[in-house]
Each structure stands twice: as C-alpha cells, then as structure tokens.
Amino acid sequence: MFEQDPQSFFAYHQGYATSMSKWPDQPIDEIMGYVRKRSANLVIVDMGCGDARLARTLKSTHPN
C-alpha cells in the first residue's frame, strides 16, 4: 500500500503521532525505563516500526 501511495505513509504516521499525543501515558517511556533498569548485557533491537525513539534514546554501543 505505501509503495503505491507514498503519501499515505506520512499521513499514517502523522495521524498516529497526533493520536498518541493525547494518550495519558506513553508506552515507549515505560519500555525505556524498564530497559534502563536491566543489565547492560541486554541486546535491544528497534525494528523500525515507528519513529525510532527507542533507538535514538538508547544509543547503540554495538559495533554493527
């Protein structure tokens, strides 16, 4: 769908961000807090299904 109509990709993410801004809690904040409390040996992967906030916040120390 997004390949046939690239504008729909941007419209989807803009609509999602607008909806998410109205939520009382942000799930990603809970996830980041959970991860930060765990061992530094964890491997965390942001699969790229959103705005990559997890990846941007938890800077990679893995050398690719």
Number of domains in the chain: 1
The Cβ of residue 50 has, within 10 Å, a number of other Cβ atoms equal to: 14
pLDDT at 32: 87
In a domain, 3, yes or no: no
In a domain, 62, yes or no: yes
- Residues spanned by the domain of 36: 25-64
Q: Which of 45, 51, 47 is nearest to 13 (CA)?
A: 51
In a domain, 7, yes or no: no
- Which DSSP helix (H) or strand (E) runs through 11? helix 6-20
Q: Do the beta carbons of residue 55 and residue 46 sit within 8 Å? A: yes
Q: Do the beta carbons of residue 10 and residue 3 sit within 8 Å? A: no
pLDDT string in tens for the chain (64-residue length)? 778 888 998 899 899 999 999 999 999 899 888 888 887 778 888 887 778 888 888 776 555 5
Cα-Cα end-to-end distance for the chain:
31
The answer to whether the pTM exceeds 0.75 is no
